[in-house]
Structure formats: C-alpha cells, structure tokens
Amino acid sequence: MGSLTVPACVSTVLLDIEGTTTPITFVKEILFPYIQDNVKEYLQDHWQEEECQEDVQHLRLQAEKDKELEGFVPIPVNEAEIQQIIQGVVDNVHWQMLLDRKTTALKQLQGHMWRAAYASGQVKGEVYADVAPALRKWKEAGIKLYIFSSGSIEAQKLLFGYSIEGALLELFHGHFDTTVGPKVQSESYRKIADHIGCSTESILFLTDITKEAKAAKEAGMNVAVVVRPGNAALTDEEKASYPLVNSFEQITLHPVQ
C-alpha cells in the first residue's frame, strides 16, 4: 500500500462513506442503534405527517418484494389498527437492519430519523482525520467532489453538515444514493457520470467494498480500495486487483486546468 497517482484526465472524485470517509464503527455503533432504539417512538410522534406516511408506504412496497426472504416480517395493510401497523413497521425495520440491508425504503426512513439526532448535537458525523484536509486540497485544485453512498442523500448531508470537523457539506458538488441504482451494478456508475456530465474515465471512485470497485471499474471509472481499521479483510486476489490506500494523503490528483 502506498502512493497513488491517478491519470491526468481525472477531474472528479466520487466517494463512498462507510469504511471510506467514515469508520464503520460510527455507522454500526452510533447511527444504527439510534434507529433501532427510537423507531417506535419516531413513528408514533410523526405518524400523521405526509413524509412519515410516504416512508411507510415505501417500506410496504419493499416488503411486497421481500416476501420470499427468510425471516421476512410483513407490514399490516393500511386498514389495520394503527398500533398494529406501527409494530409491523418497527419489526420490519429491525429485521432489515439485522441483515444490514441497503434498501432505498429503509435508508430514506433512517435519513429522516437522524435529522433530530444531528440537529440536537446528540450525534456528530465522524470522518477520518485525513479526509477533510484532502478534500479541501482537491477542491482547491479544481477537482469536483461527489458522494455515492447507500445512505440516503439527506443522511449524507447530515453526516457532513454536522461533522466532528465542522460543516463540510460545501466541499461537495453533489450526492448520489441508491435511487440512481445499486452500488454493485455498473449501470449506476454510468448514470452517475451522465448526471455529472463527464466521462466515467474522468472519475476516481473510492470505496472499501471490492464489489463496488468492480462495478465502477467495469463502467470505466478509475478506482481505489480504501483500507481502514475495522473494514472487511480483503483476499489476496482482491488486494492484487485494485490499487489500495489507507489514507487520502496517499492520493495525488493533477490540478484541473
């Protein structure tokens, strides 16, 4: 693992969050338990709001697709008693989170729930120490910065807007979540390049997950796998297949003319 110099045509960096900019422990030990502990109360407090009803409807549609999965938890129909529906949603959310599912429906609800946690100061978004300095340096060099995470766009904005390093949101040109497509499919990376208005070859994608790196590489992006403490171990084959970095300091980008 060492320094990584990327091709001069790279003018955009696309970043994953969990395991790349942010410790997995922050997501698993702070963010996710907040949801598990508060989902019932949140649903009871916000049940009459349109946004909450939309979230429940999306979870219901996802549940329709999940029927065949082991341990599946159904959500009662709209006509059922409210407390019964709420309990069904709570159980479904807990089941999805147990499997660390990345469904858009689950991620939308989580993003809405974290609003209060960040706004009250109960939670601050963790980023590795090398992240903010590198992002500032790259932005000053004319590099455009985007996020692609399974976390909803709102959740991404909260994490960087209320980070331990202060407000970092202004560093980013834009955000993508799974509404563009799953992170393990090449088509999602082609769509992202289309949205940004550049070729996939001019993008460097940084992630901790090799399945995501593979999909981005197949779409034509430059990729590097970020190795952070607590990330899933890589096989020898994976280590040999992608450039590896353990700090953004190791990445050198050419200034954009």
Ligand X SMILES: CSCCC(=O)C(=O)COP(=O)(O)O
Q: Which residue is nearest to ligand X (CB)?
A: 151
Ligand-binding site membership of 3 (annotated): no
The string of DSSP letters for 189-252 reads HHHHHHHHTS-GGGEEEEES-HHHHHHHHHTT-EEEEE--TTSPPPPHHHHHHS-EESSGGGEE
Q: Would you call 80 helix, strand, or coil by DSSP?
A: coil
CB of 84 to ligand X, least distance (A): 28
How many CB atoms neighbour CB 1 within 10 A? Answer: 12
Ligand-binding site membership of 120 (annotated): no
Ligand-binding site membership of 194 (annotated): no
Q: Would you call 188 helix, strand, or coil by DSSP?
A: helix
Total binding residues toward ligand X, as defined by CB under 6 A: 15
The residue with tokens 């949603």 is 89
150: partner contacted, choices ligand X, Mg ion, none (Cβ within 5-8 A by kind)? ligand X
- For residue 183, give both structure tokens: 């992170």
Total binding residues toward Mg ion, as defined by CB under 5 A: 4
27: partner contacted, choices ligand X, Mg ion, none (Cβ within 5-8 A by kind)? ligand X
CB of 76 to ligand X, least distance (A): 26
Q: Is 177 in the site for Mg ion (CB under 5 A)?
A: no
| Interface with Mg ion (CB under 5 A), residue from 208, 215, 216, 250 | 208
| Interface with ligand X (CB under 6 A), residue from 156, 188, 210, 250 | 156
Residue 148, C-beta contacts closer than 8 angstroms, at least 6 positions apart: 14, 15, 16, 175, 176, 177, 180, 183, 188, 192, 205
Q: Which residues are annotated as a binding site?
A: 16, 18, 149-150, 183, 208
Contact positions vs ligand X (CB under 6 A): 16-19, 27, 31, 102, 107, 149-151, 155-156, 159, 183
